[in-house]
Amino acid sequence: MMLNATWLETFTTLAEERHFTRAAGRLNMTQPGVSQHLRKLERQLGQKLIVQDGKTFSLTEAGETVRDIGLSRRAEERALREAIGRDDPDVGEVRVACSGSIAMLFYPRAIALMRAHPRLSIHVEAAPQAQVLTGVLEGRFDLGVIADDPGHPRITARHIGQEELCLVLPAGQPDPVRFDDLESLGLIAHPDVWSYADDLFPRNFPDAFTGADRLRVRSRVNQIGQIPAPVAAGVGYTLLPRSGLAAFPGSEQVRIATLPAPRYHELWSITRHGRPPGARLTRISTLVADLASGLD
């Protein structure tokens, strides 16, 4: 049997005040209304809760127990309201999904935040664009970063910047770069490099480029953090978004080629529509947007 919450609160206030008139004033009720709630609660419990002595009353043993339950429930409800209302940017979990290159750029900042705030958890997952979108829709990710506005009715998308698709060469490679020079060097391949080549090379080497599948591959690397290393060693070239180079420690050993037709990819942050972002997600979103603006 569930106790009627209104009757319980009326009785708890009456037990605190030990006076019907004062209890009625505190509850913004009439004195007969307080008496009615008391009688209904007693009938529900099958127990007398007070013993009247003239104009005063004392609590029965059952009344003391019910009063304690009422006080306990108040405390629990107050704690619940505080927990729900608390919006602490330093406490809780944020789940972010993005490309591997954006993850490399963002994760050191995430580590710094977690070091400063021990109760903050930031989970970062590198994933293809379609998986990022699906994960945000399903609620597995709080924030995603993708290359296009998905135009989805359940997604809130915000344009946060753009980044150059870079032709990355060994530092000593001269300008202007020729396609034959690239073929002599050989491509450092990775899972996204074929789409990058088909995007960038037709604009800059229209007469020489005949398709990504015909490029001479010197080596293949699957870990994005390792892709620039063979280029820095002078054994090939590669194609990466600028974010893929931002965290590379040997940046002085590579250079970005100057091209007549540079290519830029847009960056959009996405969240599930209608979900209030909260302080944690707002701070992380702002951090990601600041990083993206620095890639222009």
Is the domain of 133 the same as that of 59?
no
Q: How many CB atoms lie within 10 A of CB 68?
A: 12
Closest CA to 201 of 219, 213, 185: 213
pTM: 0.67
CB of 231 within 8 A of CB of 170?
yes
Q: What is the pLDDT of residues 15-33, one digit of tens each?
A: 998 999 999 999 999 999 9
Express as a percent the part of the chain with pLDDT over 90.
Answer: 73
Is the same domain home to 117 and 17?
A: no
What is the extent of the structural domain holding 50? 5-85
CATH number of the domain that residue 123 is part of: 3.40.190.290
Mean pLDDT, residues 217-226: 90
Better-scored residue on pLDDT, 159 or 87? 159
**Could you give the number of structural domains in the chain?**
2
Cα 246 to its chain centre, rounded Å, is 22
